[in-house]
Amino acid sequence: MLLKNTQEVLSLSANVEDKKSFQNNFRISVINFIEIFYFYIMKTAEIFDQFLKSKIVTTDTRNITKNCLFFALKGANFNGNTFAQEAINQGAMMAIVDGKEFENKEQNIFLVENALESLQDLARTYRNYLKIPFIGLTGSNGKTTTKELISAVLKEKFKTHYTFGNLNNHIGVPLTILSIPEDTEIAVIEMGANHQKEIELLVSISQPDFGYITNFGKAHLEGFGGIEGVIKGKSELYDYLRTNHRTAFVNFNDTIQVEKTADIKRISFSDQHNADYQIELIEDLKNEYLAVNFQDFTIQSHLTGNYNFSNISCAIAMGAHFGIDAESIKNGIENYFPSNNRSQIINKENYKIVMDAYNANPSSMEASLNNFAKFEGSKTIIIGDMFELGEESKAEHQRILEIAEKLNFDQIFILGHHFIETSTTNPKVIKFSERSIFEDYLKNNPIQSKNILVKGSHGMRLDLLDFN
């Protein structure tokens, strides 16, 4: 009996200790939950309330305007927290920091767990507040041109807001969304990525109702881990559309896109009769600019290269889907002029320059070379290094050079440390390690060809070449 009673006492004592432990753990869990709720919900709500009063967000103290919100972001070589007080002094309504030592409630310097995530959460909140259709697009090539074409068409009927420049990453997308005026009727959001899971993050912020992938090409191979990684990474947009029962626009001429969207609600376009919208490419070798037929209209663009056919077709399909008549679609496309060194044709007195030096990868480089080969008259190409190709860099630069040699251009100038390592015995090929060395060469050896193609990654800055 005594033993039994002793065991009961010990058991009871243990239970008491367990209860105390449970209570303590429970209390800690509740406190943690409250803290998390405050940081991620309440603070987002507080910031959003201030944002609605301001409608101006910046991450750069050089762009401070009166009553804006300043988010103190950090990078490898800078800490935005150190500029918070400066932002307030310059007129910012609120500064959002994630360093406790920088918090100053009296100065409206607001502490959050992570300033970047707070910026992204604010964008999510505003995106849902807007309650308008969002179009999200990504791809290896043609994102910016397609975005601008789509927007040019949609603006014929709707108040349209779209990504400015190339603000298409984990910072740019939130800033783009937060810059949308409240009276906007439709938004077009460009999303870029150089590694997997990046598109996944961007779609969680933009939450597109419609999505479009321009193509799967050999871009950012180093970050994605090869072409299969590119397909998987870009397809994160499709994953979102599928899970959330949203709609994809699909180029039915692209078998991979057709396959990847088989189980997604989709709107298709093609030059074939199996698509929702049929658009016909007009083949005219005498005209460097693309023209297409849609319904009873011939649409003459200011873009060169057959690779832009799908970009134009997508803009037409989206316009038609949103109820824009064919004549207005035609007007939108014909009044779009490329800029920023993307497929621009610059006519000089004695020659013509095809300036396509904003970016380059093996897929876009090959397409540009094949298109330029169709131009009439003598032709010179100036091609620069392609970046972020990883282990495939050497092979891809060699392959591109061999394509250029087979197309029988009159002169081939290759620039950069990657291209200079290629092998050739072709006397038409002249190599330069630096743009500056090539510029010195041009002073004494001006190009005589009637047509000049300039193509390379943006970091090569071939757009700065002076041909005069």
Amino acid at 413: F
Amino acid at 175: L
Tokens standing for residue 66? 């009166």
Among residues 52, 57, 59, the alpha carbon closest in space to that of 68 is found at 57
Tokens standing for residue 44? 């987002």
- 3-class secondary-structure state, position 456: coil
The pLDDT assigned to 32 comes to: 54
The pLDDT assigned to 2 comes to: 43
Question: Which domain CATH number covers 441?
Answer: 3.90.190.20
What's the total number of domains in the chain? 3
Q: State mean pLDDT over 36-45.
A: 61
Considering 334, 363, 394, which residue would you say is the last residue of a domain? 334
Is the pLDDT assigned to residue 34 strictly greater than 80? no
> Degrees (nearest 5) of the Cα angle 370, 439, 433?
70
The pLDDT assigned to 4 comes to: 47
Q: Are residues 303 and 226 in the same domain?
A: yes
> What CA dihedral angle connects 201, 207, 211 and 215, to 10 degrees?
-10
Question: Which domain CATH number covers 259?
Answer: 3.40.1190.10
Is the pLDDT assigned to residue 344 strictly greater than 90? no
The pLDDT assigned to 226 comes to: 79
Q: State mean pLDDT over 159-188.
A: 95
Q: Please list, in sequence order, all residues whose beta carbon lies within 8 angstroms of the beta carbon of residue 125, skipping any fewer than 6 positions away.
A: 44, 45, 48
Q: Are residues 274 and 161 in the same domain?
A: yes
Q: Please list, in sequence order, all residues whose beta carbon lies within 8 angstroms of the beta carbon of residue 351, skipping any fewer than 6 positions away.
A: 447, 449, 450, 451, 452, 467
Strand partners for 249: 212, 267
The pLDDT assigned to 42 comes to: 57
Give me the percent of the chain exceeding a pLDDT of 90. Answer: 71
Confidence of residue 9 (pLDDT cuts 50, 70, 90): very low
Residue 79: is it exposed, middle or buried by C-beta count within 10 angstroms (0-12/13-18/19+)? middle
The pLDDT assigned to 40 comes to: 53
Q: Are residues 366 and 427 in the same domain?
A: yes
CB 140 within 8 A of CB 234: yes
In a domain, 173, yes or no: yes
Cα separation, 107 vs 101, in Å, equals 13
Q: Are residues 161 and 96 in the same domain?
A: no
The pLDDT assigned to 75 comes to: 84
Is the pLDDT assigned to residue 33 strictly greater than 60? no
The pLDDT assigned to 83 comes to: 95
Strands of 109-111's sheet in order across: 57-58, 69-71, 94-97, 109-111
Is the pLDDT assigned to residue 373 strictly greater than 50? yes
In a domain, 8, yes or no: no
In a domain, 431, yes or no: yes
CB 302 within 8 A of CB 294: no
Q: Are residues 302 and 271 in the same domain?
A: yes
Sign of CA dihedral 358, 361, 365, 367: negative
Q: Are residues 324 and 357 in the same domain?
A: no
Is the pLDDT assigned to residue 23 strictly greater than 60? no
Report, in this order, helix, strand and coil percent for the chain, each rounded to 5: 45, 20, 35
**More reliable by pLDDT, 270 or 466:** 270
The pLDDT assigned to 1 comes to: 42
Q: Are residues 322 and 353 in the same domain?
A: no
Give me the percent of the chain exceeding a pLDDT of 70. Answer: 89
For the stretch 376-412, pLDDT in tens is 899 999 999 999 898 889 999 999 999 999 999 999 9
The pLDDT assigned to 20 comes to: 54
Report the first-to-last Cα separation within the chain, whole angstroms: 109
The pLDDT assigned to 230 comes to: 86
Cα separation, 260 vs 74, in Å, equals 37
> Degrees (nearest 5) of the Cα angle 208, 211, 212?
150
In a domain, 30, yes or no: no
Tokens standing for residue 185? 């009727």
The pLDDT assigned to 358 comes to: 83
Which of 39-43, 353-357, 371-375, 395-399 has the weakest average pLDDT?
A: 39-43
Cα separation, 18 vs 14, in Å, equals 6
Q: Are residues 352 and 328 in the same domain?
A: no
In a domain, 418, yes or no: yes
Q: Are residues 214 and 171 in the same domain?
A: yes
Question: Which domain CATH number covers 105?
Answer: 3.40.1390.10
Q: Are residues 427 and 362 in the same domain?
A: yes
Strand partners for 248: 211, 266
Q: Whole domain around residue 447: which residue ranges? A: 344-464
Q: How, if at all, do strands 160-162 and 69-71 pair?
A: unpaired
For the stretch 242-258, pLDDT in tens is 999 999 999 999 999 99
In a domain, 154, yes or no: yes
- 3-class secondary-structure state, position 246: coil
Q: State mean pLDDT over 292-302.
A: 96
Helix (H) or strand (E) holding 412: strand 411-415
Residue 60's Cα: distance from chain center in Å?
Answer: 20
- 3-class secondary-structure state, position 453: strand
Considering 82, 112, 142, which residue would you say is the last residue of a domain? 112
Cα separation, 23 vs 452, in Å, equals 77
CB 170 within 8 A of CB 116: yes
Phi/psi at 304 (nearest 5 deg)? -105, 155
Mean pLDDT of the chain: 89
- 3-class secondary-structure state, position 268: strand
The pLDDT assigned to 35 comes to: 52
Cα separation, 146 vs 372, in Å, equals 20
Is the pLDDT assigned to residue 445 strictly greater than 90? yes
- 3-class secondary-structure state, position 430: strand
The pLDDT assigned to 3 comes to: 44
Q: Are residues 171 and 318 in the same domain?
A: yes
In a domain, 20, yes or no: no
In a domain, 409, yes or no: yes
Considering 290, 309, 334, which residue would you say is the last residue of a domain? 334
Among residues 113, 86, 145, the alpha carbon closest in space to that of 364 is found at 145
Strands of 451-455's sheet in order across: 344-347, 352-356, 451-455, 379-384, 411-415, 429-432
For the stretch 68-126, pLDDT in tens is 999 999 988 889 999 999 999 999 999 999 999 999 999 999 999 999 999 999 999 99
Q: Are residues 328 and 351 in the same domain?
A: no
Per DSSP, the residues of 32-45 read: HHHHHHIIIIIHHH
